[in-house]
Amino acid sequence: MTIQKSPRHFLDIHNHSIDELREMLSRAAFMKRGQGAERPLLGKTLALIFEKPSTRTRVSFEVGMRQLGGEVICLTGKEIQLGHGETIGDTARVLSRYVDIIMLRTDHETKLQEMAEAATVPVINGLTDSSHPVQIMADILTYEERKGPIKDAVFCWTGDANNVCESFIHASVAFDFELRIACPPELSPSHQTLEWIKANKGRVTVHRDVEEAATGADALVTDTWVSMHNKDAHRRHNLLKPYQVNDRIMGLAKKDAIFMHCLPAHREEEVTSSVIDGPQSAVWDEAENRMHAQKGILTWCLNR
């Protein structure tokens, strides 16, 4: 196995130039069209490490890697000594001797950073409590399939300004689209994130009124009110009730607006069944595009 001296990690959207991000998406669209069937990752092995449960991330990475000709090893945090028994850096050094690329789905951003700093093979961020960049790459692919170039589009995020929203913020700056975040004060973007938006001249605004944020939007986006790491479910339900995406809110957006959700969805909470099952819903394309987007990221990381 050849050990790369400078692995091409994919840790967060804002770590990459727009040219790099566009190259990943172009590869994804190319392979989705059925081209590139020469199995460019034949002989390569991907290690999938999960400290959190997953449906779409696990299946889309595993099937995508196999379609590219590669092999997959799935591990949970309990099966290996990730951060206990040995350092995360030591785990990264050992895995780098066995596999060609690593995907880590974990809680703390610091674990991902420690893995990437020590690994001599590429590391992909499969989700942390701070960001979810592979999901947003799939969302951009989906939006552009449905509605064309994302530049200057208007997105309305409604609900908790969580890790998925954070990656949308990064994407809005990189791909130059407007992002309106409708959320209660208690679940707003952090001061650090607001400062980052300001420093990078992002077109991101924070609203308390979801109707104001949704009016004229090209896409409405939301996520579950209670994520895997949240312990205050009752409080969150009360805070987020006004931010539900329903037919009335959807009707305020453009007539050809689409609805997006990273899933799993809690119907009749953050979104009504009439919207997620309705003609403007793009959520099933989003789910499929997780696999295509990740194939673009995998081949970019391995330069194949």
| pLDDT, greater one: 84 or 121 | 121
User: Are both 22 and 102 inside the same structural domain?
Assistant: yes
Q: Does the pLDDT at position 199 exceed 70?
A: yes
User: Is 262 contained in some domain?
Assistant: yes
Determine whether the annotation assigns residue 248 to a binding site. Answer: no
Q: Does the pLDDT at position 85 exceed 70?
A: yes
Determine whether the annotation assigns residue 163 to a binding site. Answer: yes
pLDDT attached to residue 137 = 98
User: Are both 144 and 91 inside the same structural domain?
Assistant: no
Percent of the chain with pLDDT over 70: 96
Q: Respond yes or no: is residue 208 known to be catalytic.
A: no
User: Is 94 contained in some domain?
Assistant: yes
Q: Respond yes or no: is residue 74 known to be catalytic.
A: no
Percent of the chain with pLDDT over 90: 88
Q: Respond yes or no: is residue 223 known to be catalytic.
A: yes
CATH number at residue 74: 3.40.50.1370
User: Are both 238 and 156 inside the same structural domain?
Assistant: yes
| pLDDT, greater one: 229 or 166 | 166
Mean pLDDT of 140-154: 98
List 57's β-bridge partners, or say none: none
The one catalytic residue in 223, 244, 280, 294 is 223
| pLDDT, greater one: 202 or 86 | 202
User: Are both 141 and 281 inside the same structural domain?
Assistant: yes
pLDDT attached to residue 44 = 98
Q: Respond yes or no: is residue 165 known to be catalytic.
A: no
Strands of 195-278, DSSP E: 204-207, 219-222, 258-261
Q: How many residues does the chain have?
A: 304
Helix (H) or strand (E) holding 157: strand 154-158
In this predicted structure, which of 32-36, 49-53, 183-187 has the lowest mean pLDDT?
32-36
User: Are both 256 and 141 inside the same structural domain?
Assistant: yes
Q: Respond yes or no: is residue 135 known to be catalytic.
A: yes
The one catalytic residue in 290, 292, 294, 301 is 290
User: Are both 85 and 29 inside the same structural domain?
Assistant: yes
User: Are both 251 and 295 inside the same structural domain?
Assistant: no
Mean pLDDT computed over every residue of the chain: 94
Q: Respond yes or no: is residue 290 known to be catalytic.
A: yes
User: Are both 62 and 142 inside the same structural domain?
Assistant: no
User: Are both 98 and 184 inside the same structural domain?
Assistant: no
Determine whether the annotation assigns residue 228 to a binding site. Answer: yes
Model confidence, pTM: 0.94
pLDDT attached to residue 76 = 85
User: Is 228 contained in some domain?
Assistant: yes
pLDDT attached to residue 258 = 98
Q: Does the pLDDT at position 229 exceed 90?
A: no
Task: Tell me how many domains the chain contains.
Answer: 2
Determine whether the annotation assigns residue 194 to a binding site. Answer: no
pLDDT attached to residue 300 = 98
Nearest to 127 by CA among 135, 117, 119: 135
User: Is 4 contained in some domain?
Assistant: no
User: Is 5 contained in some domain?
Assistant: no
Instruction: Identify whether the C-beta of residue 75 lies closer than 8 Å to the C-beta of residue 58.
Output: no
pLDDT attached to residue 158 = 98
User: Is 19 contained in some domain?
Assistant: yes
User: Are both 146 and 31 inside the same structural domain?
Assistant: no
Determine whether the annotation assigns residue 93 to a binding site. Answer: no
pLDDT attached to residue 58 = 94
Strand 123-127 relative to strand 154-158: parallel, antiparallel, unpaired? unpaired
pLDDT attached to residue 84 = 72
Nearest to 187 by CA among 169, 206, 213, 201: 206
| pLDDT, greater one: 35 or 199 | 199
The one catalytic residue in 16, 100, 135, 294 is 135
Determine whether the annotation assigns residue 134 to a binding site. Answer: yes
In order, the DSSP letters of 81-144 are TBTTTB-HHHHHHHHHHH-SEEEEE-S-HHHHHHHHHH-SS-EEEEE-SS--HHHHHHHHHHHH
The one catalytic residue in 27, 105, 180, 292 is 105
pLDDT attached to residue 37 = 67
User: Are both 110 and 162 inside the same structural domain?
Assistant: no
The one catalytic residue in 16, 27, 132, 180 is 132
Query: What are the pLDDT digits (tens) for 241-283?
Result: 999 999 999 999 999 999 999 999 999 999 999 999 999 999 9
Q: Does the pLDDT at position 136 exceed 90?
A: yes
Q: How many CA atoms lie within 13 A of 271 on its CB side?
A: 25
Determine whether the annotation assigns residue 133 to a binding site. Answer: yes
Pairwise CA distance, residues 251 & 274, whole Å: 12
User: Are both 150 and 280 inside the same structural domain?
Assistant: yes
- Structural domain harbouring 47: 13-132+289-302
